[in-house]
Each structure stands twice: as structure tokens, then as C-alpha cells.
Structure 1
Amino acid sequence: MPQSPEFVDLREAAEPVLGAVLAQNARVEHHTSPLDPARLRALVDASRLALATPDGAAFVIAFDEAGAYDSPNFLWFRERLNRFLYIDRIVVASELRGRGMARALYDRAFEAAAAAGLGQVVCEVNREPPNPGSDAFHAALGFAEIGRGAPSPGKVVRYLSRPVTGEGPT
């Protein structure tokens, strides 16, 4: 069995790690959203979970329902659900894909949600522009669609949820 990857807390990460996180995010911002150093710091400070590989090549930022976050997608969940962990973004460098890194980050998210007594992990996946790889990945993890939205012009998302324990929707 492969060894579990090592992660560092972004709250304590050195500037080179944060710079690498910004670079990784920039490569996929059409699927996530743009970040600059100040916005990254604000997100990390407000998050429930903010982890990265030591080189910043893969990372997760997630919020619980009480998080101070203004994303329309996060607010969609907050208006409808209680006690959840919202995955704002999981980004994995292309050279690390297919090695279980995203799954390891989700495992850590589910562990954090369980430790905090949160009942579900939620996220959104782009429908427009399409992201079929993310659709397949989330389906394999047991996420199910609970709604759709159009948070910005040209972007349509599928809102997904999975209980912290077990498979399938809540």
C-alpha cells in the first residue's frame, strides 16, 4: 500500500509554499477562481482546513458553515445546509495526477469534518465550462448532486454533497 502523502498546514507554511500554491491555482483558475497573495492569506486564515504538500504542488482549502467567506457557491450551501465542510478548492499539479493525491486530500477533509462533528462534505463542480474529470472523480468518491447554480456569467455549477460517514447523498 502506498505511503500517505505528507501535508503542511498553510497557516504555518513558508512563503515559497504559498507562492507555489498561487502558481498551481493560476493554472486552473478557470475551474476555481483567481487568487492573489492577500486573498490566499485571507482564505487560509478563515478556513477550517488548509493543507498543501511541502512543495505546494497540491493543496486543499475548506470552510465549515460558520466560515467568513463570501463565495456565492459557499453561500448557496450555507443558505440550505447545517454543519458541513465546504471544499472551496482542491488543486493537484498535472504531474501528480493519477497518484491518489486528490483522494488523500479528500481523506484529510473527511477526517477534519468528522473530528469537528460536521455531517457532510460539500463542493461544486463546473458544468459550464465542463470539467468531466472532476465529475468522474467526485462520483467515484460517492458525491451526489443536490442542486445547480450560475454563480457568475458563463459559469454553471453542480452542487455536490456526501455524508461524512457512508456513501451517497444526505
Structure 2
Amino acid sequence: MSDVLIYEVGARDGLQNEAIPMDTKQKIKLINMLSDTGLKNVESAAFVSPKWVPAMADSKEVMDSIFRKKGVNYPVLAMNMRGLEGAISVGADTVCIGTAPSEMFCKKNTNCTIKESLERAENIAKIALEEGMKVRGYVSCVIYCPYEKDTDPISVAK
């Protein structure tokens, strides 16, 4: 493979874990500035429950307000159908889906089993592709899980 694709995820993955959510206007400014650096992929939002991830409660406003620079892709995370609906509503060009080889991580992260997370991801991907979106997948905890410790390589391969 001769190409390396860099995805900047700080505006989504980095900010979602902050104890005090970044102000929406500051978040929009950050994403716009990242877009001006030459990056081609700036993951910008997560359409997830604001109860569980308060820092992403403004995802619709953020996506509706950023300047979408030509040639830059602005992926968003959607872990269930409601999240996909949010992604579609803002015209996201790429939806990110995910799972993990850890039952405990899946339960704590998405309130479902590994099997259910794979089914959700498959359904989201199918509809997203039908909508003309790109799909990007995450597999979390491939080496280590914060709840179950070392991850079994056989589980990851499955």
C-alpha cells in the first residue's frame, strides 16, 4: 500500500472525554482551524446520547456550523440507528462505526453485547452506503481492555 491516510480525531475522540465540555463556538473554531492545516480527514462529531457523552451534545450545531472546506472529509461517529439519523441530517460524508472484542467494553461503551454491536454496525453501514456515505470502522481494545485487561488475539481475529 503506497498511501497513508491520516484521520485527525481530537475534535471528537479527544474532546468527548473532557470533564468540562468545550464551548460549541470554540469547537467549531478548532475544527475550522484543523481544516486549514492541510488535513484531509477531520473527525468532527459523535451522534451519541448526551446523557452519556455530554461533550457531544452539540454535534448537530457543530456540523451545521463548521466551514466544510473542499477536499476535506468530516467523519462523524454513529453507534446506533439514532446516531446514523443524526449523521444523515447534517449531511455527513462519512460515518464511523465500531465494536470491540470485549463484552464488558461493549456493554459500558454502547450498552450492548459484541454480537449486538456487530449487528448494529452492519445495519448502519448498509444504510449509510445506500445514502451515498463512506463508512469507517473502529475495533477498540485490540490489545488491552480497561475492564478485562489483556485482549485475546483470537477474539480480535473473529
Q: Same fold (TM over 0.5)?
A: no
TM-score, normalised by the number of residues in structure 1: 0.31
Structure label with greater radius of gyration: 2
More helix by share: 2
More strand by share: 1
